[in-house]
Amino acid sequence: MMRLEVLNEVQEFTNNDQGLQEMLYYMEKRISAANLRISHLHVDGIDIYDPFLSSLTARIDTIRNIQVVSCTLEELITHTLTDGLDFIVQLQQLATEISVQFYAGSQTVDWDKFNNIVNRMELLANLLRSIGQLDVVLLKHGKHFPVLLERLNIILAAVGDGLSVQDMTLVGDLIQYEISSLLNEVHHAFASNLTGGEL
């Protein structure tokens, strides 16, 4: 049995797909009724962030305890933007390191590091998508996030096109100029929303 603790209430659910669906429904219903949001889940000592379903399904047979960590929408936005700033700084550093390698040719590219950047860019796209779905009234520059997401998708498609024709210089340029510029804009948008400053 899975023991779910949400808003100081404890319920038990069976460790199967149906039990998982019932638990997720119950959890969402309780959090929504309290006008809160789910920050993350604490599952058998491990923090799990949205999307929850795939992570929970992967360990459905062994889950024992789940604690729902909730917060207000304002707290969730602040937390998301603060974590996003740290994430963007790390991504900027990786992009700077890898862009130089593309100018020297495909033999010098650290493909593991490049794949890490691509994976992180996809996470950034998910983050921008999630922020765009939040209540834009609470975000000073909320309407700007879908525009940044669209630009990110265009850049990622261009990187894919450059790789398909093995144009390493184009990929280097896209990483060094387009991705770096976009990351600077996203960083500025996040920081402006946190501080209430202008874009």
The reply to whether CATH 1.20.120 applies to domain 74-195 is yes
Does pTM surpass 0.85?
Answer: no
Q: What is the pLDDT of residue 77?
A: 82
* Rounded Cα distance, 72 and 34, in Å: 9
Q: What is the pLDDT of residue 69?
A: 94
* Rounded Cα distance, 19 and 26, in Å: 10
Q: What is the pLDDT of residue 108?
A: 79
Average pLDDT of adjacent 10-residue blocks, the chain of 199 residues: 95 95 94 91 90 88 95 85 90 90 83 89 84 64 79 94 93 93 91 73
Assign residue 4 a region (left: φ > 0; alpha: ψ between -120 and 50; beta: otherwise): beta
